[in-house]
């Protein structure tokens, strides 16, 4: 979808802070994070709703792996997961280490995001 923000991120037209990528999926840091390591996991194919992704099993297998990875790296037992889906019309799952917000959801500066991306790379 030409006007889709996440499709532009997938194509590299907009910079993102990737922590994981394969042929089918991409995981990158939310630039308006609630906590350190706040990640968005998306399929590369443009599908509006998570529930309509044809390989939902594969999608959530990866979401689980990434959540366990974030738990290990962050040291927080709790990794919040959220399928909200109304901010950007491209399927995405939020993963947020820590049960309380460390950040207030304002945009983080690039240096901080870069450091977090290095730390949380899977």
Residues binding Zn ion (CB under 5 A): 1, 4, 6-7, 46, 90
> Smaller CB distance to Zn ion: residue 88 or 117?
88
CB of 114 to Zn ion, least distance (A): 24
CB of 23 to Zn ion, least distance (A): 16
Distance CA 47, CA 51 (A): 9
> Smaller CB distance to Zn ion: residue 45 or 115?
45
Q: Is 94 one of the annotated active-site residues of the chain?
A: no
Distance CA 37, CA 58 (A): 22
> Smaller CB distance to Zn ion: residue 2 or 57?
2
CB of 2 to Zn ion, least distance (A): 9
Bridging pattern class, strands 39-43 and 79-82: unpaired
Lateral strand order in the sheet of 79-82: 18-21, 25-29, 39-43, 93-97, 79-82
Active site residues: 92
């Amino acid at each position: 979808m030409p006007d889709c923000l996440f499709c532009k991120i997938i194509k590299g037209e907009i910079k993102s802070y990737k922590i994981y990528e394969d042929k089918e999926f991409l995981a990158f840091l939310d630039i308006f994070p609630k906590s350190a390591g706040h990640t968005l996991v998306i399929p590369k194919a443009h599908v509006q709703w998570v529930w309509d992704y044809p390989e939902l099993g594969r999608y959530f297998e990866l979401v689980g792996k990434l959540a366990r990875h974030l738990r290990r790296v962050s040291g927080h037992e709790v990794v919040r997961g959220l399928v909200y889906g109304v901010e950007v019309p491209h399927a995405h799952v939020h993963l947020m280490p820590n049960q309380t917000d460390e950040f207030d959801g304002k945009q983080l500066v690039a240096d901080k995001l870069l450091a977090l991306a290095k730390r949380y790379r899977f």
